[in-house]
Amino acid sequence: MTERKPNNGLMQPNIPVGIVGYGAYVPRYRLPASEISKMWKDGVGGVPIEEKAVNGLDEDVITMSIEAARNTMDRAQIDPQAIRAVWVGSESHPYAVKPTSATVAEAIGAVPNTQAADWEFACKAGTEAMQAAIGFVGSGMADYALSIGMDTAQGRPGDALEYTAAAGGAAVLIGRADESVAIINGSYSYVSDTPDFWRRAHANYPSHGDRFTGEPAYFKHVMGAAEALMDALDRKPDEYDWAVFHQPNAKFPMRVGKMLGFTTEQLKPGLLSPRIGNTYSGSTMIGLTAVLDVAEPGDRILMVSYGSGAGSDAFDLEVSDLIEESRHRAPTTEEYIARRTEIDYATYSRYREKIKMK
Amino acid sequence: MQVSTHWRLQEQRYNLVGETCEHCNSKLFPPRDVCLICEEPAQELFTFTGLGEIYSYSTIYDAPAGFEHNAPYTVALIKLNEGPLVTAQLTDMDNDELTIGQPVEMVTRKLRTDGDEGMIIYGYKFRPAI
């Protein structure tokens, strides 16, 4: 088979753009992995993370997206009427038909002169919406576009993914580079039809290909996107201060980082999965918000998402001077993680509506 | 469940949009035609900050129809910083954490759902300020 070589894979808009504001959300409840292990494995064997974030009974992707969007608006300090797109990427939209994004747009005061749509590409729906926003603003069609990655992920009881399927995510407002806390130098997407993980219509829980989710899926696509972006921009891993990868567990992002040549220090602030789990569409983006909370002006960030099915979006970002005054206008990602109430498996079963009342 | 009723209340439920009285400058929530203080017409819309404190509260163990799902839950009178008292559920806090005068902030949460196929109703609740 002939190897396919992208000849123009680097995506850069005509008008320089960046992240004007950002905001995270993590619900307060935490289910320790040991609770799941105790329930299904008699507490025997290792666990992939320490604990995961669980949404409360009155929370879903709409309420969580609204809070992340409000945090973003607090940081950006712009008129919500100037937003021309509100896009929410998720695999747990509360309605099958009725846009999450329209409710979020209404709640932040962006209606009626705005696009609103829900995006889907497993765990990379949020970064896909970021790339669309880059195009929207970078072409001059919009001054601002809001992209959100948010999930309340469901894991089949007893399945390996139950340990990690978590709730949370983040929003970023894309605007002109000169107003941005982080300028986006370019992005690249790497996609192929790879059946590693899926959920059929009307199915409550996803299915997956066990070990097939590793080499031909996560590693191939994350590596493919990261290497192509760095190659196109002529950058080396040691030229970045921070790197954020999609975090389905604690091990994969560390391993892919090492394979690409990044150090543990570069990965540390953005690696949240050991403490909040895999927030699916929110995973890479909330990692980015944690990095932006601590980054200094001039810092370079590589961010690479991964969505099953499969694909990766890679971004090269450079932090600007505006970060210093902006970051304290809303709660930091670590403040949300510190807001922690531990629950047991029974409470988790109730909150995730695994107990059927009718 | 009346879809139109909930749609009409959306603005006040999502964003605490009330009114300000142009005669005596009192802030009103929910919006109403006549100022409660000076009894003059009040029509100017006003968005509250969502910040306030717990004025009083009561925990519901035997919930009314449509709210059984969340029981037990606590309903409070919240004294908004701008003046009005608002009745709302508290969220993200345990009952043993509650005190009169505690600072709270507004968040948008699911209020109820109309069965498995009906609307999901969103609106304001209050939680300890982050």
Q: pLDDT digit of tens for each residue in chain A (358 aa)?
A: 445 555 568 999 999 999 999 999 999 999 999 999 999 999 998 999 999 999 999 999 999 999 999 999 999 999 999 999 999 999 999 999 999 999 999 999 999 999 999 999 999 999 999 999 999 999 999 999 999 999 999 999 999 999 999 999 999 999 999 999 999 999 999 999 999 999 998 898 999 887 778 889 999 999 999 999 999 999 999 999 999 999 999 999 999 999 999 999 999 999 999 999 999 999 999 999 999 999 999 999 999 999 999 999 999 999 999 999 999 999 999 999 999 999 999 999 999 988 887 7
A35 touches chain B (CB under 8 A): no
pLDDT of residue B116: 86
Nearest-by-Cβ selection for B122 from A62, A336, A339: A62
Percentage of residues of chain B with pLDDT beyond 90: 78
Contact criterion met (CB < 8 Å) for B120 and A339: no
d(CA B55, nearest CA chain A) in Å: 23
Is there a contact between A56 and B91 if contact means CB atoms under 8 Å apart? yes
| Three-state secondary structure call for residue A249 | coil
- CB contact B80 to A (< 8 Å): no
Q: Beta-carbon neighbour count of residue A46 at 10 Å? A: 7
Q: Which residue is it, tokens 């990044």?
A: A262
On whether any CB of chain A is under 8 Å from the CB of B65, the answer is no
Q: Is A61 on the interface with B (CB under 8 A)?
A: no
Q: Tell me, what's the pLDDT at A4? A: 53
The CATH number given to A186-321 is 3.40.47.10
Closest residue, chain B, to A351 (C-alpha): B70
Rounded CA-CA distance B125/B92 in Å is 10
A81: contact with B, CB 8 A cutoff = no
A214, A208 contact by CB (below 8 A): no
Give which of A257, A121, A260 is closest to A192, Cα–Cα: A121
- Provide the shortest C-alpha distance from residue A357 to chain B (in Å): 9
> A328: which chain B residues are within 8 Å (Cβ-Cβ)?
none
Contacts of A107 in chain B (CB under 8 A): 14-15, 108, 122
Average pLDDT, chain B: 93
Cβ contact B107–A107 (<8 Å): no
pLDDT confidence tier of residue B94, bands split at 50, 70 and 90? confident
Integer distance in angstroms from the first to the last C-alpha of chain A? 54
User: What is the set of domains in chain B, with CATH numbers?
Assistant: 3-128 (2.40.50.840)
The partner residue sitting opposite A63, judged by closest CB among B69, B70, B109, is: B109
Backbone angles phi and psi of A172, in degrees to 5: -135, 140
Are the Cβ atoms of B91 and A58 closer than 8 angstroms? yes
* Identity of residue A328: H
Preferred mutation among A25, A28, A58, A333 to probe B, highest tally of B CBs within 10 A:
A58
Beta-strand relationship, B17-20 and A309-319? unpaired
Whether the CB-CB separation of A35 and A287 falls below 8 Å is answered with: no
CB of A137 closer than 8 Å to CB of A13? yes
Residues with Cβ within 8 Å of residue A97, at least 6 apart in sequence? none
Cα separation, A282 vs A127, in Å, equals 9
Q: Which of B14, B94, B110 sits opposite A107 (nearest CB)?
A: B14
- Give the separation between CA A68 and CA A26, rounded to whole angstroms: 9
Q: What is the pTM of this model?
A: 0.96
Nearest chain A Cα distance for residue B96, angstroms:
14
DSSP A176-187: EGGG-SEEEEEE
Count CB neighbours of A8 within 10 A.
Answer: 6
Q: 10 Å Cβ neighbour count for A247? A: 32
Side chain identity, residue A100: T
> What distance in Å separates the CA atoms of residue A227 and residue A199, rounded to the nearest whole number?
29
pLDDT number for residue A1: 47
Q: How far is the CA of A345 from the CAs of A196, A228, A263, A273, B33, in angstroms?
A: 28, 43, 36, 19, 50
- The answer to whether the bond into A177 is cis (omega within 30° of 0) is no
Looking at the domain A17-181+326-351, which fold is it?
Peroxisomal Thiolase; Chain A, domain 1 (3.40.47)
Distance CA A234, CA A85 (A): 32
A338 and chain B in contact, CB less than 8 A: no
- Give the span between the Cα atoms of B52 and B50, in whole angstroms: 7
| Catalytic site includes residue A93 | no
Question: Given A91, A128, A179, A318, which residue is catalytic?
Answer: A91
Question: Is A202 among the residues known to form the active site?
Answer: no
Residue type for A160, please?
A: A
Q: Indicate yes or no: CB of B10 within 8 angstroms of CB of A106.
A: yes
- Residue range(s) occupied by CATH 3.40.47.10 in chain A: 17-181+326-351, 186-321
Give the pLDDT confidence score for residue A247 in this predicted structure.
97
Test the A interface: residue of B92, B93, B114 with most A CBs within 10 Å:
B92
Are A335 and B108 a contacting pair at CB < 8 A? no
Farthest-apart Cα atoms in chain B, separation: 47
Size of interface A-B (CB pairs under 8 A): 45
Distance of CA A187 to the CA centre of its chain: 15
